[in-house]
Amino acid sequence: MKKHVLIIGAGGVAKVVAHKCAQNNDILGDIHIASRTLEKCEAIVASIRERNALNTEGRLEAHQLDALDIAATEDLIQRTGAQIVINVSSAFVNMSVLSACIATGAAYIDTAIHEDPAKVCEAPPWYANYEWKRREECIAANVTVILGAGFDPGVVNAYARLAKDDYFDRIDSLDIIDINAGSHGRYFATNFDPEINFREFTGQVWSWQDGMWISNRMFEVGQEWELPVVGRQKAYLTGHDEVHSLSQILGIPNVRFWMGFGDHYINVFNVLKNLGLLSEQPVTTAEGLDVVPLKVVKAVLPDPSSLADGYTGKTCIGILAKGVKDGRKREIFIYNVADHEEACEEVGSQGISYTAGVPAAAAAILVATGRWDVGRMANVEELPPRPFLGLLGQLGLSTHLSEAGDDRVLLFP
C-alpha cells in the first residue's frame, strides 16, 4: 500500500486530478498540489473545500515548486511524505520529475510524453527517445512508473489492450478517434496548454502503417466518422504519443490517431503558422526585445482552465479496432462520451480536462492499492485493463462498446 499524493501542475487537468483524489482521500491519504504559481495551487485547494470534496478529513496543501529543479522536487516529496507523484505539469518537466521520483522511491504517473523545448514534433520512436531509456533504472530502484495515464494516451491504450485480450485473435488496424463536439464560446482557444497544443501540429504527422512509420503534413489527411452521440464528424490524421507505444508493445501493424478540428480552428492555426507566430525560435523586436512568438501567442490566448464556465456539448473518444476473431472479420468501437457541463458542475473544469484528469487519479488509486504498483516502468497497455476501466466507470468515465448496430455499456465486476 502506498499513501499520500503530490500533484505537480495547477492547470485544468490538475484541478480534476486534485478533486478526484480528494474524493478518494480515504485511500490516497494526504493531498499536496505544487506548481510555479502558488496562487493557482491555492485556488484548487479552495475549490475542493468549497465543494466539500474531501471524502474524509486529511491534509490538503498548496506548495510552490519549480519542477525542473530536481533537488527541490526531491525535497518536496520527502517533506510531504508523498509516495505517489502525479505529474500533470508541462511535458517539458517529465524527465526532471521522474528523476526525483527514482531518487526518493515515489511512484510516478504522467499523462503525456516528455518533450524537449528545443525540438518540435520529434521523429519516432518517441518513447524510446527519453522514457524507455530509463526502464532499467526504474527496475533497479524498484520504482513504479506509469506512462501516459490520461485519456489519450491512457484510457485508449487500455481499450486497445482489452480489445486484444477479449475481442480479437488478431488486430489488423487500430484507429484512435478524438472528437470534441463542444463549444466554449470564445473566438479562439485551445483546450489544453496552447504551447504544447500547437507544437503537436506544426511539424510532420507520423502514423504507423503496414509496420512502418509514414509521414504526412498536418491537415493533409482527413476523414469523416459516424460516431455515437456526437454524430458525423471530420477528423484529421495527427501524430500522438500512443501511436508509438501501441504499435510497438501490442504489435499492431496499423495504428493511426485522428483528431477533430473545425474549419475555424484550421483557418486561425494556418494564419498563425504562416505568419511565424507559432515558432519556438526567439525573434528580436524593433525595440530590441527578444521574444518567442509561440509564448506570446500562449500569453494572449484564454487560459484553458478558464473555459469551463459556459462550455457546452460533449466529447467522444475511442478506438476503432478491426481484425479477426474465430476466423471471422470483426470491427468494434470502444469509447467514452463526456459532457462539458456535467464536468464543470462536478469539479469546475471542462470535459477535455475531465477526461485527462480522472484517469490519472484512477491510476494513483490502483498504485495505492497495489493493483498497478509494479516496481518498473510501464505504459498503460502493459497493465491489466479491467481494474482501470472498472474504476473509471465508478469515477465518472464509463466505457461503451459499439458493434454492428449494438451499443452497450461495458461493466467490469
Coil/strand/helix, residue 377: strand
Residue 359 contacts residue 384 (beta carbons within 8 Å): no
Strands of 67-120 (E only): list them: 84-87, 107-110
CA distance 24 to 27: 6
Helices and strands in the chain, H and E counts: 15, 19
**Predicted TM-score (pTM) of this structure:** 0.96
The Cα-based distances of 79 to 43, 82, 88, 108, 365 in angstroms read 22, 8, 20, 17, 21
SS3 for 165? helix
pLDDT at 121: 67
The cell for 181 is 463536439
**Tens digits of residue pLDDT in 315-366:** 999 999 999 999 999 999 999 999 999 999 999 999 999 999 999 999 999 9
Per-residue pLDDT at 413: 82
Q: What is the C-alpha to C-alpha distance for residues 290 and 346, in angstroms, rounded to an integer?
A: 42
Query: How far is Cα 35 from Cα 21, in angstroms, rounded to an integer?
Result: 17
- What is the Cα–Cα distance from 46 to 215, expressed in whole angstroms? 46
**What's the average pLDDT block by block, 10 residues per block, for the chain (413 residues)?**
96 97 98 98 97 96 98 98 97 97 98 87 83 98 98 98 98 98 94 81 89 94 96 95 95 97 93 91 92 91 91 97 98 98 95 97 98 98 98 98 96 90
Q: Which of helix, strand or coil describes residue 292? A: coil
**Which pLDDT belongs to residue 28?**
98
Question: What pLDDT was estimated at residue 203?
Answer: 75
The phi-psi region of residue 352 (left if phi > 0; otherwise alpha if psi is between -120 and 50; otherwise beta) is alpha
Contacts of 72 (CB under 8 A, 6+ apart): 65, 66
34 Ramachandran zone, left/alpha/beta (phi>0; psi -120 to 50): beta
Q: How far is the CA of 248 from the CAs of 127, 211, 242, 263, 288, in angstroms?
A: 10, 9, 10, 33, 48
Position 335: which residue type? Answer: Y
Phi, psi of 206 (to 5 degrees): -110, 135
Looking up cell 469546475, which residue turns up?
Answer: 348
Measured CA to CA, the distance from residue 76 to residue 73 in angstroms comes to 5
84 beta partners: 5, 107
